[in-house]
Structure 1
């Protein structure tokens, strides 16, 4: 599946798929992920659904995708808490532009997804709006300080939520990151208890293994028909 490039605002977005799509898949993408995006989309395309996929680049990963400020967890770079600006860019520029220029159906099902901090961003974004039909959160950073308490006060509104984690991710000496396993189990249980269509899948390996495949699986599940 070949990509076309579309300039939206000041960002060069990669667009894959067909205008007559049933699903619009959006992924906030860091520079470190761009090499794997083509392979990820090829895997997603093994499903039988017609979709349009937009990779929306982010410049400062930690700042652009974090919902509020937080200190550094590894290295020296903390989190700037600019997710609201990113969400506004998606809802006010990216989605309207794609719908208009590619003549997408007005009621197209939008799935917001991503890996790691982009997965957390997708979960957080769906606490702010009911625009997203689904969330595809692969190895999301649910260890983020304050996230679990925030989600209790501002519940996720998406109809369908995919969660995954590598089975080695919680085995870390970093006390902040080590809560990721307990947090994602709790989040899954709470979403199920609220009646959400939600699944949780374990993947083998640590956080940096098969990110493109894990994210592709997340988007595939979001498009599947569930009974």
Structure 2
């Protein structure tokens, strides 16, 4: 894929487009990222290109403060000394009002090209939270999302998602931690999946389990999620 870097509202962004085969992209994948995510993109995109039939573009933007910009409300520290902020709404506004229009313009795509918002860890939680805020996305890919986040389970129980296809995944060792808050991630994601399955507005939903802890094969887990979303949108 061809890569183009650009800056938007002070954020570093990247756009990956199909090599010049003349086909217009039929899907847009977007993701909030950090340097660790970006390191795995070559492997992730290679897997996606091998298994996704539709031509697609992939766009990412770098998050300045992971703990502040991706979470929807303030919360005390769960690990280390840094707490969480309430910047998710501002980040979604950036995505909706600036990033998506810029991606569509640069890739020469119409307003009807479906968008999948994805993410890993706290970015996965952000993607999942977006499902409850807007119907602008065709699917959500939440890989190892931080559903241990204080207050998230109550919030998702009390609200209905607006996105028809939602992918969830978790490593099978992630809940095996001494951190009592983060140890809730397994029960919470099982509960999340059960609730989503019963929601009439969700047409497709799955929960995938991967071997290993939170830091194993991030790029492969994300690729699997995006592949599922692409298939869900062709049914």
**TM bucket by the smaller chain?**
over 0.9
- Say whether residues 1:73 and 2:81 are aligned partners: no
The residue number in structure 2 matching 1:99 is 104
1:42 is aligned, of 46, 68, 84, to: 46
- Say whether residues 1:147 and 2:179 are aligned partners: no
CA positional deviation for 1:43 = 1.4
| Regions of 4+ moved over 3 Å | none
The residue number in structure 2 matching 1:198 is 205
CA distance in 1, matches of 2:116, 2:158: 23
CA distance in 2, matches of 1:66, 1:111: 19
Aligned partners of 2:72 and 2:86 also within 8 Å: yes
Aligned partners of 1:126 and 1:132 also within 8 Å: yes
Please identify, of 207-216 and 28-37, the stretch whose mean Cα deviation from structure 2 is larger.
Answer: 28-37
Name the Cα RMSD after superposition: 1.4
Say which SS state the counterpart of residue 189 (structure 1) adopts: helix
CA positional deviation for 1:37 = 1.7
Q: Count residues with an aligned counterpart.
A: 227
Please identify, of 150-159 and 71-80, the stretch whose mean Cα deviation from structure 2 is larger.
Answer: 150-159
Matches within 5 A, 1:106-117: 106-117=111-122
The runs of 5 or more residues in structure 2 that have no matched partner are: none
The residue number in structure 1 matching 2:14 is 14
CA distance in 2, matches of 1:30, 1:76: 20
Alignment TM-score, normalising by the size of structure 2:
0.93
Give a deviation string over 1:3-40, Cα, whole Å, max 9, x none: 11122222221111238211110000012222112221
1:127 is aligned, of 121, 132, 135, to: 132
The runs of 5 or more residues in structure 1 that have no matched partner are: none
Alignment TM-score, normalising by the size of structure 1:
0.96
CA distance in 2, matches of 1:142, 1:20: 36
Say which SS state the counterpart of residue 127 (structure 1) adopts: coil
Aligned partners of 2:73 and 2:85 also within 8 Å: yes
Aligned partners of 1:31 and 1:58 also within 8 Å: no
Aligned partners of 2:27 and 2:56 also within 8 Å: yes
CA distance in 1, matches of 2:214, 2:54: 28
1:219 is aligned, of 221, 226, 234, to: 226
1:170 is aligned, of 166, 175, 183, to: 175
